[in-house]
């Protein structure tokens, strides 16, 4: 979910929390894919013939591809969330994450926000 849409729907803190949860779900998927790779390699031991072996190799390749995708997604979500979190402190009163969306660009990654405490406005860019 884009930053602007997330702030509009849930508020900054909830958006950030959801990004972290979604990112860590991808990390769990990465781990499960790693288990799948090892299971396929272990399954290759007892195979007879090229057809069974090819099946295990395809399973391992699928798990490797899905695992790499999930790891990349995990890192991307975490990096985006941390980048926004470092800019979520009001420069004037130092309140963290207490902000309202004022406007955003078309991509939803550059937003202008306003502090709920003091009304100061600033930009957050991802
Ligand atoms: Zn403020």
pLDDT tens digits, one per residue of 97-122? 999 999 999 888 899 999 999 999 99
For residues 37-45, give the mean pLDDT: 94
For residues 62-91, give the mean pLDDT: 97
Q: How far is the CA of 47 from the centre of ligand 1 (A)?
A: 65
Between residues 44 and 33, the one the model is more confident about: 33
Contacts 24+ apart (CB under 8 A), 66-75: 66/29, 66/33, 67/29, 67/30, 67/33, 67/34, 67/36, 67/37, 70/26, 70/27, 70/29, 70/30, 70/33, 71/26, 71/27, 71/30, 73/23, 73/26, 74/23, 74/24, 74/26, 74/27, 74/30
Q: How far is the CA of 69 from the centre of ligand 1 (A)?
A: 39
Q: How far is the CA of 94 from the centre of ligand 1 (A)?
A: 6
Confidence band of 66 (pLDDT split at 50, 70, 90): very high
Q: How far is the CA of 96 from the centre of ligand 1 (A)?
A: 8
Q: How far is the CA of 95 from the centre of ligand 1 (A)?
A: 6
Looking at residue 21, its pLDDT comes to 98
Looking at residue 108, its pLDDT comes to 84
For residues 12-34, give the mean pLDDT: 97
Q: Is the pLDDT of residue 1 over 90?
A: no
Looking at residue 112, its pLDDT comes to 96
User: What's the half-sphere exposure (Cβ side, CA atoms, 13 Å) at 112?
Assistant: 8
Structure tokens at 12: 């900054």
Looking at residue 46, its pLDDT comes to 82
Q: Is the pLDDT of residue 74 over 90?
A: yes
């Amino acid at each position: 979910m884009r930053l602007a849409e997330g702030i509009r729907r849930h508020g900054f803190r909830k958006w950030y929390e959801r990004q972290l949860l979604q990112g860590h779900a991808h990390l769990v998927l990465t781990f499960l894919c790693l288990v799948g790779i090892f299971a396929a390699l272990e399954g290759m031991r007892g195979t007879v013939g090229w057809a069974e072996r090819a099946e295990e190799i395809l399973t391992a390749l699928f798990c490797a591809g899905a695992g790499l995708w999930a790891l990349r997604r995990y890192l991307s979500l975490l990096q985006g969330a941390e980048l926004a979190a470092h800019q979520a402190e009001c420069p004037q009163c130092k309140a963290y994450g207490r902000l309202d969306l004022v406007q955003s660009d078309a991509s939803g990654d550059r937003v202008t926000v306003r502090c709920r405490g003091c009304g100061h406005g600033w930009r957050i860019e991802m």
